[in-house]
């Protein structure tokens, strides 16, 4: 995103704050959305993921108050919510506020004390696209409260508390990846995260040096994880762990502990659908490691093949893609100058991610959405993104 566009957003945020609360905010913070290059549905299986924080974010302007109330206006929903810190309950009327309420509730649960504040939030992370607008909101709120009240939360604490809010308050049983990358992201880099240990390593992508663009394309198919079969897939993976432990006659805590050869040996002992769910997770972990190695050695052709293999696994074994997304991936992968493409996010709609030559982006943007519209009747939206920093003060 250009600096001028960011300045325009900040100006509008200050104007809205003055209109709603009078005066100026005390602090402005931001937290980015993310695109996952590879490693889908591996995070809650203690696996490996390789996401990138993107230059689309949630921005919150805030000012501490002397009372015990949080009052926040959402520019995106044109709504205001006000609730007492002493009595935080879930709201059905303003679902967007549950990310604020839930994050505050988790901090209180862990013994952190903080006062009330007034705030205005706005975001340009597309919602329902699989780019983690919800995680960005939770991380931004957590970072805001920590900064306003001098809680000195670490990045890891911020990510974990934000995930807990999503799991236990909002009601989406997500893994740690989305909140972790929103807190830890680095410019022009991907982050290899071991979701079992929370060890991480920043991997330079050097997209600028390689004349490559990170392109995200919204399929036009809206998705919502709470209402999707996301939680069902997680349960199927858990069932696979139980069955594999029984067959292998040893303790198995997650699919991360299973080798592909072991899974093949147990194939007849598993229901066919459970076998395929497990196969995706186990082979996807291997693809993450291979992708990181390919970036480090500059083997971009291999990166492309791994992205496409990931999509086929998500499509066939994990069954979280859909026909419009498959069409968009095929059109993208076959466009000249594209290194590779796949669906990204939880699935059931949302976005695809592609690496392509910078010079190819204008032609791609002008032609592929047109063909996609002809084939599906849906409008695809193209985002040319950059890898950005994690949560910070603006």
**Measuring CA to CA, which residue among 371, 393, 394 is closest to residue 382?**
371
Query: Which of 205, 233, 267 is the last residue in one of the domains?
Result: 205
What is the full DSSP assignment across 244-311? HHHHHTS---SGGG--HHHHHHTGGGS-HHHHHHHHHHHHHHHHHHHHHHHHHHT-HHHHHHHHHHHH
Do 291 and 146 fall into the same domain?
no
- Alpha carbon distance 262, 177 (integer Å): 26
| 122 and 180 together in one domain | yes
pLDDT category at 172 given cuts 50, 70, 90 is confident
User: What is the rounded average pLDDT of the residues 171-176?
Assistant: 82
pLDDT tens-digit map of 358-384: 999 999 999 999 999 999 999 999 999
> Does the structure show a pLDDT above 70 at 225?
no
User: Are residues 159 and 228 located together in one domain of the fold?
Assistant: no
**Residue 300's CATH number:** 3.30.70.890
Q: Which residues contact 198 (CB under 8 A, 6 or more apart)?
A: 156, 176, 180
Q: In degrees rounded to 5, what are phi and psi of residue 262?
A: -65, -40
Q: Give 187-219 as a DSSP string.
A: TTEEEEEETTT--EEEEE--TTTTTEEEEEEE-
pLDDT at 226: 46
Q: Are residues 188 and 335 in the same domain?
A: no
Please, which residues have CB within 8 angstroms of residue 51's CB and are 6 or more apart in sequence? Answer: 34, 35, 36, 37, 39, 177, 178, 181, 190, 191, 193
Residue 117: Cβ-neighbour burial (10 angstroms; 0-12, 13-18, 19+): buried
Query: For position 2, what pLDDT does the model report?
Result: 52
Average pLDDT over residues 57-63: 97
Rounded to the nearest 10 degrees, the angle between the axes of helix 98-109 and helix 133-148 is 50
Residue 393 lies in a domain: no
The pLDDT score that the predictor gives to residue 41 is: 93
Instruction: Judge whether 394 lies within some domain.
Output: no
pLDDT in tens, 114-128: 999 999 999 998 776
Q: Regarding beta strands 117-123 and 69-74, do their DSSP bridges make them parallel or antiparallel, or are they unpaired?
A: parallel
| Whole-number average pLDDT of the chain | 94
The residues annotated as belonging to the active site are 178
**Strand, coil or helix: what is 81?**
strand
CA distance 10 to 7: 5
Same domain for 184 and 216: no
Are 174 and 225 found together in one domain?
no
Neighbours of 261 (CB within 10 A): 9
Residues 161 and 262 in one domain: no
pLDDT given for residue 126 in this prediction: 79
Q: Yes or no: say if 31 and 137 are a contact pair by the CB < 8 Å rule.
A: yes
Residue whose token pair is 């349960």: 235
User: For the chain, what is the domain count?
Assistant: 2
Residue 9 included in any domain: yes
- Confirm whether 253 is domain-assigned: yes
What is the average per-residue pLDDT within 382-388?
Answer: 93
Structural tokens at position 394: 């603006």
Question: Does residue 392 form part of some domain?
Answer: no
**Which range is most confident: 121-130, 138-147, 170-179, 216-225?**
138-147
The three state secondary structure string of 211-224 is CEEEEEEECCCCCC
Beta bridge partners, 340, equal 355
Last residue of a domain, one of 205, 223, 256: 205
Confidence of residue 142 (pLDDT cuts 50, 70, 90): very high
- On whether both 43 and 185 belong to a single domain, the answer is yes
Q: Verify that 117 and 62 share a domain, yes or no.
A: yes
Give me the CATH number covering residue 25.
3.30.230.10
Domain closes at, from 205, 235, 269 = 205
Tell me if 121 sits within 8 A of 74, measured CB to CB.
yes
Sign of the alpha-carbon dihedral angle for 41, 44, 50, 56:
positive
Q: Is 356 within the bounds of a domain?
A: yes
* pLDDT over 70 at 73, yes or no: yes
Residues 293-348 have pLDDT tens digits of 999 999 999 999 999 999 999 999 999 999 999 999 999 999 999 999 999 988 88
C-alpha span between 280 and 224 (Å, rounded): 22
How confident is the model at residue 174, as a pLDDT?
79
Q: Do residues 105 and 165 share a domain? A: yes
pLDDT, tens digit (0-9, with 9 covering 90-100), for 248-286? 999 999 999 999 999 999 999 999 999 999 999 999 999
What pLDDT score was predicted for residue 131?
A: 82
| 183 plus 256 within the same structural domain | no
Within this chain, do residues 127 and 247 fall inside the same structural domain, yes or no?
A: no
Q: How confident is the model at residue 247 (pLDDT cuts 50, 70, 90)?
A: very high
Predicted TM-score (pTM) of this structure: 0.90
Residue 168 within a domain: yes
Domain span at residue 353 reads 212-385
Annotate 2-65 with three-state secondary structure. Answer: CHHHHHHHHHHHHHHHHHHHCCCCCEEEEEEEEEEEECCCCHHHCCEEEEEEEEEEEEEEEEEC
Token digits of residue 174: 């997500």
Per the domain annotation, does 147 fall within a domain?
yes
Q: 211 with 219: CB under 8 angstroms?
A: no
Helix, strand, coil percent values for the chain (each to nearest 5): 45, 20, 30
Say if residue 335 is exposed, middle or buried (CB neighbours under 10 Å; 0-12, 13-18, 19+).
Answer: middle
Backbone angles phi, psi at 380, to 5 degrees: -95, 140
């Amino acid at each position: 995103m250009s600096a001028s566009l960011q300045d325009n957003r900040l100006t509008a945020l200050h104007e809205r704050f003055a209109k709603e609360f009078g005066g100026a905010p005390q602090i402005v913070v931001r937290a980015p959305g993310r695109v996952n290059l590879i490693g889908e549905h591996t995070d809650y299986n203690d696996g490996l993921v390789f996401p990138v924080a993107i230059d689309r974010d949630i921005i919150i302007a805030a000012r501490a108050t002397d009372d015990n109330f949080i009052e926040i206006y959402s520019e995106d929903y044109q709504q205001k919510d006000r609730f007492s810190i002493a009595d935080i309950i879930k709201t059905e009327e303003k679902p967007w506020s549950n990310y604020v309420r839930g994050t505050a509730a988790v901090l209180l649960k862990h013994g952190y004390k903080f006062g009330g504040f007034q705030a205005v939030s706005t975001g340009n992370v597309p919602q329902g696209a699989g780019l983690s607008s919800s995680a960005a909101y939770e991380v931004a709120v957590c970072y805001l409260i920590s900064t306003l009240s001098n809680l000195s939360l670490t990045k890891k604490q911020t990510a974990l508390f934000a995930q807990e809010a999503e799991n236990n308050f909002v009601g989406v049983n997500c893994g740690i990846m989305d909140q972790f990358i929103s807190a830890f992201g680095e410019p022009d880099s991907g982050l290899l995260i071991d979701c079992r240990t929370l060890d991480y390593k920043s991997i330079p992508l050097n997209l600028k040096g390689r004349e490559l663009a990170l392109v995200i394309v919204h399929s036009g198919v809206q998705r919502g994880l709470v209402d999707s079969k996301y939680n069902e897939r997680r349960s199927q993976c858990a069932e696979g762990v139980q069955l594999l432990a029984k067959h292998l006659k040893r303790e198995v805590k997650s699919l991360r502990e299973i080798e592909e050869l072991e899974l093949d040996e147990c194939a007849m002992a598993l229901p066919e659908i459970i076998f395929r769910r497990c196969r995706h997770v186990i082979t996807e972990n291997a693809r993450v490691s291979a992708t990181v190695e390919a970036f480090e050695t500059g083997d971009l052709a291999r990166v492309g093949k791994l992205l496409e293999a990931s999509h086929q696994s998500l499509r066939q074994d994990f069954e979280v893609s859909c026909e419009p997304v498959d069409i968009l991936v095929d059109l993208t992968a076959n466009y000249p100058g594209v290194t590779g493409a796949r669906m990204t996010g939880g699935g059931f709609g949302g976005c695809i991610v592609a690496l392509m030559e910078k010079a190819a982006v204008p032609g791609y943007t002008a032609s592929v959405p047109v063909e996609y519209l002809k084939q599906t009747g849906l409008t695809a939206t193209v985002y040319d993104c950059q890898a950005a920093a994690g949560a910070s003060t603006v």
